[in-house]
Structures are given as C-alpha cells and as structure tokens.
Structure 1
Amino acid sequence: WPRITDRSQPLVEAASIALALRLTRPWLWDRLDTAVRDRAAAWLADALTAEPWPCNWELFPVTVGGFLAATGHATEAARAARARGLARIETWYAGDGWYTDGPGRAFDYYNGWAMHLYPVLEAHLSADARLLDRHGSRLETHLADYARLFGADGAPLHQGRSLTYRMATTAPLWLGALTGRTPLSPGTTRRLASGTLRHFLDRGAADPATGLLPLGWYGPYEGVLQRYSGPASPYWAAKAFLGLLIPPDHPVWTDPEEPGPAERADAVTALPAPNWLLQSTSADGLVRLHNHGSEDARYDPHYTRLAYSTATGPAPPGAEPDNHFGLLGEDGAVSPRHGLEPLGAGEGWAASRHGVGTARVVSVVLAHGAAEVRVHAVTDAPPGTPVRLTG
C-alpha cells in the first residue's frame, strides 16, 4: 500500500479505512488473523505522525488514532494524535456551533461532514462522555442553523467547495439523531435527509446506465469541481449512510416525517458566526443565503458571492460574476470581493466591508419575506469610477 506521508492523499484514505474497520469490527477486524491485524495497524500508524494540511485534514489522524487506541495498537502515539488534532481545530471554532475550515473564514459544508462529524463520532464510538459533551453540544447548536440550509424540495444550499459530495450534506443530521445531540425532531431529521436523497436521485445524479455518481451536481458538471476532485470524489456521498448506524426501531425511522424549516413559514435568520443572513419563503420552498462573512478566493465562485440559493448555482469561473458588486478598472475588469471584513448580522440584515486598492466598499442587505434590498457605499475611489452590480 502507498506510504502515509505528510499531507499525502493516503492519509485521507487511512482515515476512511480506520473508520470502516471500527464500525464493522465484530464482523471483520476481530475475525482477522493476528498477523493481518498487525500489518494493517502498522500501515495505519504512519497516519499518527503524518502532518495534515491545516484544515479538516487535522481530523484524519484523530480518526485513525481512535481506532488504533481502541484495538490496542500504538496506543501512546494514537492517543497523542487524537489529542493533537482535536486541540488544533479549537483555533478554528468561531462559536455558535460554527467552524471555519482552517485559517481564514471558509464557512461551508465541511462544518457538517467533517468538523463536527469526526469529533462527535469519535466521542460516540469511544464512549467518551466528556468529549461528547463538548463536541455534541456544538453539533446540537449547529444543527439548529444547519437545518435551514435545505430547500423544501430537498436541495442543499449551493455554496462552498466539494459539492460533488452531494448527499454527504445529510451526515450531520443523522449524527445528531445517532448521538441524541440534536434540536430537531426525529420526523424533521428524516424529512431533511430523505428529501435530499430524493432530490438528487430524482434528478439523475446516479448515472442510469451504471448507477454510479459522476463528478458533478445532478449529472456531470465541471462547475462544482475543484482541482483536487477525482473520479472517486463523489463517493464521499457515502457519509449519508451514517443513518444506517441508527437502530431500526429508533423514532427517526418510525415517526412520520415532519416539514423542514423552509416548508413551515417565511423566515429571515441571522447567523452571526459566519456573518450570514438566511432568507426562506414557504410559498416556493427556496432558501437564499446572503453572504457577508465567508471567503476563500482559492475556490471562487463558491465563497465570495453576495448570495447563494437552493435553486441556483454561481456562474462558473471565467463567466461574468453573478451576485457581485465591483469597481471597473480601466481595462473593464471588475474588482474581486476579497479581504472581506464582517460588520455584523442581526434581525433582517447583514453587512460587510472590503477594499479595492485605496477604495472601500461597504455592503448591506435587508431582507423581509421574499423581498431584499442591497445597498453598496463606495468611498475613497476616484470620482467617476464606474461600478457593476449583478444579480
């Protein structure tokens, strides 16, 4: 097998293998010969000292360490890796149940399918009550916001990177039900999760000829891919199977489905940690995200647009930027929205500021029902500087 070295792809696979072996331990690991177990553990052990990228990758050694400690292999190094990774992600906790995926302000679905998933699952599998209390309470807080990111038709909000993982967006919903750390009723949890699964399958996400998930959103679509996306990337959607860890007699399976937040009533919800404003309308079931706090220029256009929704995706790279306000240069190029400074989010509003050379742009959105008003104030720009606003 390939060596697990610093910031290498095998570190990712090692975490998945360790988690799979842990979840199936009575049926697989415990039935292997001792020599086979020792060889597998020796390969996995390199993940304990391999340096991850400074992002959700910090949790891959945690996952491997949890498994090896549970099976009595390299226990000292395993516990050290577990503690180190959990300590490192603390610097990225923004409060109110929200993490940024590494330094900066990269708020996205990695909150649910990584930053909450691995620590809470580790606490659950290790029966670590103290760890579960810490990270489970954060998950519970997060899910109150997270449930609002799904449209009435099951569509997840089209924002952030790695969207080709599709149904993986349901993983934290199942995790909350599995561990009892959720503010959602069992019927709401299943409604959101089953709605998302139906949303993708009903729109051809699985290739009808092969049954495989292609790189894309529904069918193949390069607009949601990043340079690290590969043929197997869509199979992080397997995180949606987390719900199968929940016993069949659990209320999440036996209770009737209940409407999700976007189906119940119009709502405008401020999320101060990411500095977002969520706007949903029950008549059409749409959710809109007004973004005044998320930024990751490496993966534009999925982070710095003024707004995203459950019914639209951003224009692909190279196209005229949508949902954007910028100053026009002498060559006609529109300025980017980088160096975003959140100015706050409250009842029906959110605001941010960013610089363009010596100029400053302050942007504010007001939302009520289905209506929204955007205001942009430009200061310290040369007189007559043209601007461009797109919807």
Structure 2
Amino acid sequence: MERRNFIGALSLTGVFGLFSPKTVLSATTTIEAPNRLKNDREYWYKLLYKIASPVVENLANGTLVKNMPLITAPKFDSRSPTVSYLEAVGRTYAGIAPWLALPDDATAEGALRKKLRLQAVQGLDNCFAPNSPDKLNFSKDYQPIVDSAYLAQTFLRAPKALWEPLKTETKQAIIAAFKSLRNRKPFKNNWLLFGSITEAFLLSIGEQHDEARLNEGVDALNSWYKGDGWYGDGPNLAFDYYNSFVIHPMMVDTLAIMVDHKLAKQERYDLALKRMQRYVVGQERMISPEGTYPPIGRSITYRTGAFQALSQVALMHKLPETITPAQVRSALTKVKQNLYDTPGTFDAKGWLQLGFCGHDAEIADYYTSTGSLYMATLSFLPLGLPASDEFWSAPAADWTAKKAWAAKPFPKDYHVEY
C-alpha cells in the first residue's frame, strides 16, 4: 500500500507579519482570472488562502468567537449554534493540511504557506488552552463527533506539520477531547465513520483506542455498499455528495491506519480504494463542459467540498487510467471560478456565506451554519502535490463532458462488479 508521508518543517519566527489576507485577495473583489495569474496553481492557493485565512488567523489571534459571524439556517434545529466554531476549525484544517505539509521554500507561495501553517499551529495551541476565549465545544451535542473526525483527519494528513509541533498540553487536551466523545453514539449512517477515523488517529499515535468504535464504521459502511462505487448512507442509497464529503475519504484513511497496525488485511484497503476510484470516475463526468455540477441532495452549501473524493484520489496519485491529472485540475479550476468568483459567496470581511452559487440562506439545511461551510476547503487537497507534479505542470486538458459535447473522442463508461 502506498501512503503519502507529508513533511513540514516548522519555524516560529519571522513569518506572521509577511502577509495579510487583503494583500493576497480582497474580500470585496473577485479573484484575478487565471489568465492574469501565472498558472492554475496560483489561482488555487490564493483562493484557498482567501477561504481559510479568516478562520486560521482569528484562531491564532484568539478572536475566532469574537469575529466569526454566527449565521444559522432559517430553520436551524435545537443544537447549540456554538458548535459552528468547531465545524469551522475541523473542516478548514482538514482541507489545508496537505498544502501546509509541503516543505518550506523561497517562493511567494512558500512564504504564504509557512505563515498559514504557523498560524494554524498557534491557533490549535490557543483554542485548547484553559480559559481560551476560543475554547471549542466537545462536551455538548452530537455535532462534535463530526468535526473531531475532520480534525483527526487533519493530523493524519499532516502529522509533521500540524500535530508534532503542538505543545504537549495541547496534544493531551486534544486526546482527552477525542476520548470524551465515546459517551455519545454516532447515528447509524455515515456518522459511524466519524467515530472510526477519530479512533484510527488515536491508534496512529499510540493511544488506547476503542476497538468497537474503530471497526463499527468500516464494517457498517461495507455492509451498505450498493455497487458501482456507491455506498448507502445507512441501509438506503442517498443520491447526494456524502460519498465524497465523508464516506470514501474516511473509509480509505481509516483502513490505511488499520492495515498499518495489522488490524485489517491489505485486500480490504485495496477494495475500498478501488471503489473510491470507481466513484471518482462518475464525479469527473458530472462536471459539465461549462464547469458546473448538479446541485443535488443535502449540504450543497458545502460547495466544492463535494469533490473531496476526486481531489484525494488525485493527491494520492491513484486516478483511474481514463482520467489524467490535468483534466481534473482543469475541470476543478473551472468549477471553482464559477462558484467562488460569484458575488455574495463571501461577505465584506471574507467569510463564506450561506448559499451555493452566491448567497442564499434559504437553501441551507437545518444543521447548517457559518462554520459548516468550510467543508469547501476539501476540494483543495491536490495543493499537497508540489508544483513540479504532473497535476500542476501538465498543459490544460479537456475533461470528459467537455470532450463529449465537443464531438471529440472520449472513453466509454461501464458498470463494475466490485
């Protein structure tokens, strides 16, 4: 099994003052068109910085609770709105982790990345400190089960950059917070994987893990597999993006740790990866020639987080033979332009707003608030590949739907049996 080892050297001096979000991307202006930038990569990393920096910088300054607008869906349920802060942190960090794990370099991108990484570490030290104004809620509601999982996935994606540099007391506080979730049972759907990946992270750092909770998610989801790359979200199939938001990435990442610790066979990981590869064939084909995709199912306010599975397979260098890295980059760049260049996506201070393409609070689900929206960062995982990688260096390429609707040759697609 091939698993990525991300490396991130950490220096604590001379970086925080180099940039502010306004010097990179103004919250009140659209992002420069890629033809006015050096390449797609520059567009991606500047856009990711624009999305992530309000969360990370405020957390580093101890002002997340003070400054993050806490906007909830019009029909928000009975959970405490304060879970939104943990949502913002867990989801943002899971998306930026591969990029921050790259080694330092002397480029403008490298300086910006280093600044964000140092702030990210400082922010975690801050929000887990006693009496922190940004202290995160792990003790109330069920929502912390979800976003602890994304924080755990963060540490699995970038252990050297975002776990190892933390203060000892911060690590102890995180471990205790993760273990405290065992008094709450995940719901019988994709949530079971949240418990599994959190326990997988604890296992990966040598902490005592809950074996039943570790296995429950991967066992249940495997039993709900429907075929052709799709898992049920519970016993039934849900035609939405939860196979990408949660199921495939967390199934594969959890099984990777289990195989490393001889708690699962290699064949089980390989099968999960094959199913993920099959699923992303469909994801790539769902991107229209114009760079749009169907706004189907719940949680469409998570925007490009819908493409986490495709992004992760690209990061892993595991794209199917029928999909080139360049066509994935080109397709996702166009999708990002369509979503994030639209007025209303960001507020005047750079925070994401409820909506899909632009601002529309009415389409937000009953569990959605400002922090929920930072699932959007999960489509930026290929920034963890260096600029020299084929994903970034190859010339732009048409994706499948663009070829098909231009009467160009494109590969046929067939059902698979695994």
Normalising by the smaller structure, the TM-score range is: 0.5 to 0.7
Partner of 1:243: 382
Q: Which amino acid aligns with 1:29?
A: W
Name the SS of the counterpart of 1:94 in structure 2: strand
**2: CA distance, partners of 1:246 / 1:121:** 18
Q: Would the aligned equivalents of 2:339 and 2:358 in 1 still touch at CA under 8 Å?
A: no
**1: CA distance, partners of 2:259 / 2:223:** 25
**2: CA distance, partners of 1:248 / 1:65:** 33
Alignment of 1:362-381 (within 5 A): none
Q: Would the aligned equivalents of 1:56 and 1:114 in 2 still touch at CA under 8 Å?
A: yes
Name the SS of the counterpart of 1:164 in structure 2: helix
Shift of 1:134: 1.7
Alignment of 1:165-204 (within 5 A): 165-183=302-320, 184-204=323-343
Alignment of 1:37-48 (within 5 A): 37-48=171-182
Q: Would the aligned equivalents of 1:162 and 1:226 in 2 still touch at CA under 8 Å?
A: yes
Partner of 1:108: 240
Name the SS of the counterpart of 2:160 in structure 1: coil
**2: CA distance, partners of 1:255 / 1:124:** 29
Shift of 1:124: 5.0
**2: CA distance, partners of 1:49 / 1:254:** 48
Q: Would the aligned equivalents of 1:205 and 1:217 in 2 still touch at CA under 8 Å?
A: no
**2: CA distance, partners of 1:108 / 1:151:** 17
**2: CA distance, partners of 1:134 / 1:148:** 22
Name the SS of the counterpart of 2:235 in structure 1: coil
**2: CA distance, partners of 1:125 / 1:254:** 31
Partner of 1:155: 292
* Aligned residue among 210, 213, 236 for 2:352: 213
Partner of 2:403: 264
Report which of the two has the higher share of helix.
2
Paired residues, what number? 267
Q: Would the aligned equivalents of 2:330 and 2:397 in 1 still touch at CA under 8 Å?
A: yes
Partner of 1:298: none
Partner of 1:32: 166
Shift of 1:127: 6.8
**2: CA distance, partners of 1:205 / 1:113:** 23
Q: Which amino acid aligns with 1:112?
A: S
Partner of 2:226: 94
Shift of 1:225: 1.6
Name the SS of the counterpart of 2:245 in structure 1: helix
Partner of 1:363: none
Report which of the two has the higher share of strand.
1
Partner of 2:14: none
The structure-2 alpha-carbon separation of the partners of 1:212 and 1:131, relative to structure 1 and needing over 3 Å to count, comes to farther
Name the SS of the counterpart of 1:64 in structure 2: helix
Name the SS of the counterpart of 2:164 in structure 1: helix
Structure of higher CA gyration radius: 1
The structure-2 alpha-carbon separation of the partners of 1:239 and 1:215, relative to structure 1 and needing over 3 Å to count, comes to same
1:314-366 Cα shifts (integer Å, max 9, x gaps): xxxxxxxxxxxxxxxxxxxxxxxxxxxxxxxx99xxxxxxxxxxxxxxxxxxx
* Unaligned stretches of 5+ residues in structure 1: 266-280, 284-345, 348-391
The structure-2 alpha-carbon separation of the partners of 1:205 and 1:235, relative to structure 1 and needing over 3 Å to count, comes to farther
Q: Which amino acid aligns with 1:63?
A: I
* Unaligned stretches of 5+ residues in structure 2: 1-135, 261-265, 408-413
**2: CA distance, partners of 1:95 / 1:49:** 33
Q: Which amino acid aligns with 2:154?
A: A
Q: Which amino acid aligns with 2:275?
A: R
Q: Which amino acid aligns with 1:19?
A: Q
Shift of 1:49: 5.6
Shift of 1:208: 5.8
Name the SS of the counterpart of 1:51 in structure 2: coil
The structure-2 alpha-carbon separation of the partners of 1:66 and 1:142, relative to structure 1 and needing over 3 Å to count, comes to same
**1: CA distance, partners of 2:399 / 2:181:** 40
Shift of 1:209: 2.1
Q: Would the aligned equivalents of 2:138 and 2:144 in 1 still touch at CA under 8 Å?
A: yes
**2: CA distance, partners of 1:202 / 1:31:** 35
Q: Would the aligned equivalents of 1:4 and 1:50 in 2 still touch at CA under 8 Å?
A: no
Partner of 2:188: 54
Alignment of 1:290-329 (within 5 A): none
1:130-181 Cα shifts (integer Å, max 9, x gaps): 4431211001111222212111221121211100011112211111112233
* Aligned residue among 114, 118, 135 for 2:250: 118
> Higher mean Cα deviation, 82-91 or 242-251?
242-251
The structure-2 alpha-carbon separation of the partners of 1:170 and 1:3, relative to structure 1 and needing over 3 Å to count, comes to closer
Q: Which amino acid aligns with 2:299?
A: S
**2: CA distance, partners of 1:63 / 1:33:** 23
TM-score by length of 1: 0.63
Partner of 1:224: 363
Q: Which amino acid aligns with 1:121?
A: D
**1: CA distance, partners of 2:396 / 2:269:** 27
RCO (CA 8 Å, sep 6+): is it higher in 1 or 2? 2
The structure-2 alpha-carbon separation of the partners of 1:161 and 1:18, relative to structure 1 and needing over 3 Å to count, comes to same
**1: CA distance, partners of 2:167 / 2:365:** 41
TM-score by length of 2: 0.59
Partner of 1:2: 137
Q: Which amino acid aligns with 1:236?
A: M
Partner of 1:72: 206
